Structure 1
Amino acid sequence: WRRRRKMVSRTLFKAVGDLPRRSRLVWRTIEVTEAGRAGQAERALDLFEAMPVKNQVAWNAALAALVDAGRTDWALSFFQEMPRRNATSYTTMIGALSRAGGAAATARARALFEELPLDQHNVFTWTAMVSCHVRNGEPDRAVELFVALYSEFFARGMLPNAHTFSSLLKACVGIRSLAMALQLHAVIVKLLDEGSRHCFVWNALIDVHAKLGALSDAEKVFYRMRYRDICSWNIMMDGYSRHKLIDRALELFRMTRKKDAFTWNIIISCLGENRLGEGALCLFIDLVRLDGHCSGNAKLSASIYTTVLHVCSVLALLVFGRQVHARTVKDGIGQSNISVSNSLLSMYSSCGAMNDLEQVFEEMMVRDIISWNSVIQGLGQNGLGRQALAVADRALELKMYNSNTFIAILTSCSHAGLVTEGLGYFDSMTEKHGVEPTLDHYISVIDLLGRAGRLEEAYDLLRKMPFAPNAVAWRTLLHSCLAHKNSVMGSIAAQELRALQPDCGGGNYERLVQGCGSSSTSDETLDGNEKSADHAPGCSWLT
């Protein structure tokens, strides 16, 4: 198809010299546009410069070519050099800055929007700016812009279109405003028909109602639609999943004729998140059986593998998880996809398979901070504190760390009894690594000291930390007191817990403390052995 397209283009462009002047201008403009779509920014500009006559359409085509090629900075310079600009020019440039992302780009886009006189705006400039705010995490500003200009534009006969409404509905989700969504719903019904061309607007309505708690309204929109695409079914199914209506989600899944990867991912996630992991894995096996023998886009995707590996992690299904790992390698996404690799790390960590965890980590083509944190946490929780700290030192040296990295380090030190090392990392957080300790870090140190029997130091740190102690902090100290049979300090922790959580069985804590002198209470620790509770059906089908 591409070869045929090139041949046709060459044949047509050879005849350009024989065309009238106006037609030659049109064809040269088309050439500029095609070069931009192909990502050839330099060629597009060369073709534009070679044009003997340049009208506004040609200038806009050259600008769009730079934008299509992803050359936003170049496009902005070109935009500023344009002798004349119209609404199309501004729409193209605002769209480019929107895709570039970031607060600076959004601010520049808004400045361009306000630079254009109000009487020269059209629905496309308006929609582009609304979409820019939504896309870059400013849904409140998108709504404010729409409300501020709606009456004036309406008086001029300039009405919002389907794309405007679609962006605004996303903004309603961002600001959690069901009232705004209901008002937009009324306007959409008045201005748009329910034809297939506007299907994505009705899909957005289903989504916003489901996410903001009005599931019955979402159902009304879905079942009244004359035309539904696969997104309609997926969004409605996701709505049922969010509201934990598993039976309805499954019924809709069975009714969906042309299932794609999102359809399978939604239902597998739905079952997995609602403690129906075995059912989720059975559906995954069904999908594996269909792979290569089904129509449509129902293929094994990275998101599906990530979901299934999470289920394996929760259920500690090591053998099944290994077979899923084998499938990812077979499909060529095991090492190259960072999300799948991180899920493998989490799964092997939960199953206690440290050799597999280290192998996956070493074979990863790209690692992010989550990868490093997962390995540190996994090694530490499975009794390999020294190895965890060795990995932590590599992460700190490579600047691949964040606040959670130090939680993983302190937890590893706590499980391994490495008190001196843990306190050293805690003291170096701010001065050496620029990470401010949070309440969670202090609780981790309290646990570190408490497990080692240094209860007075743990209590002293709890009282002097720059945060008000919460129930987790007092419960951490209480567990250490029970483990080391310190009834005096344990009574203090139990009383504080009872004051913070009067309806959560504070008396039970006090009875535990009273009996800790005679009963042997000890922490349950994990050994390094692999867990092998594999009862998932049909494991042999995976490979």
Structure 2
Amino acid sequence: MASRTVVKAVQDLPGCSRLVWTTIEITKAGRAGQAERALDLFEAMPVKNQVAWNAALAALVDAGRTDWALSFFREMPRRNATSYTSMIGGLSRAGGAAAALARGLFEELPLDQHNVFTLTAMVSCHVRNGEPDKAVELFVTLYGEFFARGMLPNAHTFSSLLKACAGIRSLSVALQLHALIVKLVCEGNRHCFVWNALIDVHAKLGTLSDAEKVFYGMRCRDICSWNIMMYGYSRHKLVDRALDLFRMTRKKDAFTWNIIISCLGENHLGEGALRLFIDLVRLDSHCSRDAKLNASIYTTVLHVCSVMVLLAFGRQVHARTIKDGIGQSNVSVCNSLLSMYSSCGAILDLERVFKEMTVRDIISWNSVIQGLGQNGLGRQALAVAQRALELKMYNGNTFIAILTSCSHAGLVTEGLSYFDCMTEKHGVEPTLDHYISVIDLLGRAGRLEEAYGLLRKMPFAPNAVAWSTLLHSCLAHKNSVMGSIAAQELRALQPDGSRENYERLVQGCGGCSMADEILVGNEKSANHTPGCSWLT
């Protein structure tokens, strides 16, 4: 009924005004997700020009009705570059095989009818769908032809191409694009995002000095500029520079705080990270609109609590998440809570969080299985694992968690049973990590011959972790013969391992004379440190 009223009102307008007004209303309907209303308005138009057809197509695309838009596109009496740009953009967001279909449409349009918008749409489509190499290849192939026609790339083209360079890790292409940007893109607030993309690609590709030159040479910077440069310092572990930039940033947003807190946490400065978090909480309490606590910040801080085993502080953060209304509904925050309580050995809290979660993903189930298992509750871990398998909430990491739980609890029969049925019953192909988990399972139980046999027969070349796992089991069970074999293999894979490290391991197996034979000429420093746990 409402649609008929709108159509009647449109029909009462003069011809030219009616056409313009309807086209505008079609666009509004599409942006509001009202595809049906947009098409009703379009169908009611007595005269439909190319602008109206393109507006209706864009409305379907904006409403997310990609299949409908594609059918409409094929029915259009005429199509121009704008039509193709809209359709390529819609297919770009659809994902999957739609990217290949978009490329087909791009090549369907004659080259002399293309413009910078069709090129940008196709480059962006490739980048969005994980095909950065194709984006760069397309640009390189067509640039000469388009340049001869005076069709130059714009700021959005360059922004997508710089992301592609980061994806394929091509510094040479990034440097050439940098030169083009300097020539073709004027500085200013409108194009700030291009210079931000330059900072980002230089930082990611290791040319931090070039990133700094771009940043400090910008006449106009926005908050993203500061955040990207700070993140570049963080990636390169330049904590002092990141902190200096943080202090210089006048208008900090949630990303600013999250970057610096993560930077400190990842560089073993957890106490400093938590101090900054406390400062942010105080700012948030004073209603700072720019720096509000969000799920990403909570996730970062909970990870710091997990690493530092700060149960009391973690509980306070948990309380704050509940106060902010994300303590049960946000799956990332809940998964971080599970990890934190697991690391701190707070099993009751772990189970309570899991029980109260309104949404669970595979990571949630894996975290609980792993948490129960590493805290010695193997049977409970397997009970949760069985539920996860029944609900089809599992992946390869689920079986790593199961096997680890069985290993810690001495449940050898159960662990081997899960390993044997991985492929046939659950469709998960065992990886090297799964085999190493079983080697650890057998080795901890003293079944060293079986562990060694599995290591030799597995369809992967044994790596240092596999031999080290067997060697530590030999150390625990005083098996000097097999221990010396494992030590020799490990030394071959890690020739820079220290004499002291191998000597301690081999002599621990009771093979003092063997240690001398294995360690001849080996005097370099060690890179390998045996695994350990905060909890016993």
When the two structures are superposed, what TM-score results if normalisation uses the length of structure 2? Answer: 0.93
Q: 1:146 to 1:242 in 2, by over 3 A?
A: same
1:369–1:400 contact (8 Å) kept in structure 2? yes
Aligned residues of 2:162 and 2:174 also touching (Cα < 8 A) = yes
The question of 1:336 aligning with 2:329 is answered yes
Q: Quick one: which of 60, 63, 67 aligns to 2:54?
A: 60
Q: What's the counterpart of residue 370 of structure 1?
A: 363
Q: How does 1:358-507 map to 2 (within 5 A)?
A: 358-505=351-498
1:514 CA displacement: 2.8
Distance apart, 1:523 and its partner CA:
11
Q: Distance in 2 between matches of 1:247 and 1:109?
A: 46
Where do 1:161-200 residues align within 5 Å?
161-200=154-193
Q: Deviation string for 1:444-480 (max 9, x for gaps)?
A: 1111111111111111111111111111111111111
34 and 374 in structure 1: CA distance in 2 versus 1, 3 angstrom threshold: same
CA distance in 2, matches of 1:15, 1:480: 83
2:71 pairs with 1:71: no
Shift of 1:502: 1.5
Instruction: Look up the equivalent residue of 2:31 and give its one-letter code.
Output: R
- Contact in 2 for aligned 1:97/1:105 (Cα 8 Å): yes
User: Where in structure 1 are there 5+ consecutive unaligned residues?
Assistant: 1-11, 529-543
Amino acid at match of 1:38: A
Specify the alignment match of 1:279 in structure 2: 272
2:421 alignment partner, SS class: helix
Match for residue 105 of structure 1?
A: 98
**Is 1:494–1:510's contact at 8 Å kept on the other side of the alignment?**
no
Q: By how many angstroms is 1:499 displaced?
A: 1.6
Q: CA deviation at 1:14?
A: 9.3
> What is the total number of aligned residue pairs between the two structures?
515
The separation in 1 between residues aligned to 2:403 and 2:503, in whole angstroms, is: 29
1:335, distance to aligned residue in structure 2 (A): 1.2
What is the CA deviation profile of residues 31-60 of structure 1, one whole-angstrom value per residue up to 9, with x for unaligned ones?
111111111111111111111111111111
Give, in angstroms, the shift of residue 176 of structure 1. Answer: 0.3
**Are 2:19 and 1:20 equivalent residues in the alignment?**
no
How far is the alpha carbon of 1:24 from its aligned partner? 1.1
Q: Residue in 2 aligned with 1:539? A: none
- Of residues 24, 43, 50, the one that matches 2:37 is 43
How far apart are residue 509 of structure 1 and its match? 2.2
Q: Secondary structure at the match of 1:213?
A: coil
Contact (CA 8 Å) 2:475, 2:508: kept in 1 or not?
A: no
Q: Work out the CA distance in 1 between the residues paired with 2:511 and 2:435.
A: 31
Native 8 Å contact 1:31 1:44 kept in 2: yes
Aligned counterparts of 2:39 and 2:102: Cα–Cα separation in 1: 23
Alpha-carbon separation, structure 2, partners of 1:508 and 1:294: 55
Structure 1 residue 297, shift from structure 2 partner: 2.3
Show the counterpart of 1:261.
254
Partner Cα distance (2:306, 2:38) in 1: 51
The partner residue of 2:290 within 297, 307, 332 is 297
- Tell me what 1:122 maps to: 115
Q: Does the CA contact (< 8 Å) of 2:123 and 2:135 recur in 1?
A: yes
- 1:409 CA displacement: 0.4
User: Using the alignment, how far apart are the partners of 2:200 and 2:532 within structure 1?
Assistant: 44
1:316 to 300, 309, 312: 309
Query: Retained in 2: the 8 A contact 1:498–1:506?
Result: no
Mapped to 1, the partners of 2:284 and 2:345 lie a distance apart of: 31
Distance in structure 1 (CA, Å) of the matches to 2:501 and 2:190: 62
Cα separation, 2, equivalents of 1:475 and 1:96? 51
Counterpart-to-counterpart distance in 2, 1:100 and 1:225: 36
Task: Call closer, same or farther: CA 1:523–1:436 in 2, change over 3 Å.
Answer: closer
- AA aligned to 2:101 is R
Q: Which runs of 5+ in 2 are unaligned?
A: 1-5, 513-529
- Paired residue secondary structure (1:441): helix
User: Out of 235, 238, 249, which is 2:231 matched to?
Assistant: 238
Is residue 472–residue 505 contact of structure 2 (8 Å, CA) maintained in 1?
no
Q: Return the offset for 1:202.
A: 0.5
> Which of 336, 342, 347 is residue 349 of structure 1 equivalent to?
342
For 1:46 and 1:259, how far apart are their aligned partners in 2? 46
2:520 is matched with none
CA–CA separation in structure 1 for the residues paired with 2:149 and 2:464 = 60
Q: What letter corresponds to residue 341 of structure 1 in structure 2? A: C
Match of 1:531 in 2: none
Aligned partners of 1:256, 1:194: CA distance in 2, in Å? 21
Tell me by how many angstroms 1:496 deviates: 1.3
Q: Pick one of 79, 88, 91 that aligns with 1:94.
A: 88
Stretch moving more, 282-291 or 242-251: 242-251
| 3-state SS, counterpart of residue 110 of structure 1 | helix
Which 4+ runs in 1 deviate beyond 4 A?
Answer: 12-19, 522-528
What displacement does 1:406 show? Answer: 0.6
Which letter does structure 1 place at the counterpart of 2:463?
Answer: N
SS in 2 for 1:291: helix
Deviation sequence 1:110-145 (CA, Å, 0-9, x none): 001011111111100000000000111000000000
Structure 1 residue aligned with 2:3 = none
- Determine if the alignment matches structure 1 residue 306 to structure 2 residue 299: yes
Which structure has more relative contact order (CA 8 Å, sep 6+)? It is 1
Residue 214 of structure 2 aligns with an amino acid whose one-letter code is V
Q: Quick one: which amino acid aligns to residue 18 of structure 2?
A: R
Q: Which deviates further from its counterpart, 125-134 or 430-439?
A: 430-439
Q: What's the CA shift for 1:19?
A: 4.6
Q: 1:19 to 1:50 in 2, by over 3 A?
A: closer
* Matching residue within 29, 48, 51 for 2:23: 29
Cα distance in 2 between the residues matched to 1:474 and 1:373: 26
- What amino acid sits opposite 2:482 in the alignment? M
Tell whether the 8 Å contact from 2:484 to 2:511 is kept in structure 1 after alignment: no
CA contact (8 A) 2:91 2:99 kept: yes
Q: Once the 2 structures are TM-superposed, how far is the Cα of residue 193 of structure 1 from its aligned partner?
A: 1.1
Distance in 1 (alpha carbons) for counterparts of 2:483 and 2:362: 37
* Residue 433 of structure 1, CA deviation: 0.9
One-letter identity of the residue aligned with 2:298: Y
- The amino acid of 1:407's aligned partner reads I
Amino acid at match of 2:163: K
Could you tell me whether the CA contact under 8 Å between 1:382 and 1:526 is conserved in 2? no
Q: 2:510 aligned with 1:513, yes or no? A: no
Asked if 2 retains the 8 angstrom alpha-carbon contact of 1:429 and 1:436, the reply is yes
**Aligned partner of residue 219 in structure 2, secondary structure:** coil
CA contact (8 A) 1:462 1:473 kept: yes
Q: Which amino acid aligns with 2:453?
A: D
Could you tell me how far apart the structure 2 residues matched to 1:228 and 1:111 are?
39
- Kindly state the Cα deviation for residue 381 of structure 1 after the two structures are TM-superposed: 0.3
1:236 and 1:437 mapped to 2: Cα distance? Answer: 41
Output the CA distance in 2 between the equivalents of 1:100 and 1:297. 33
| CA separation of 1:446 and 1:342: change in aligned 2, threshold 3 A | same
CA contact (8 A) 2:471 2:505 kept: no
Give the 3 Å change call, closer, same or farther, for CA 334–242 of structure 1 in structure 2: same
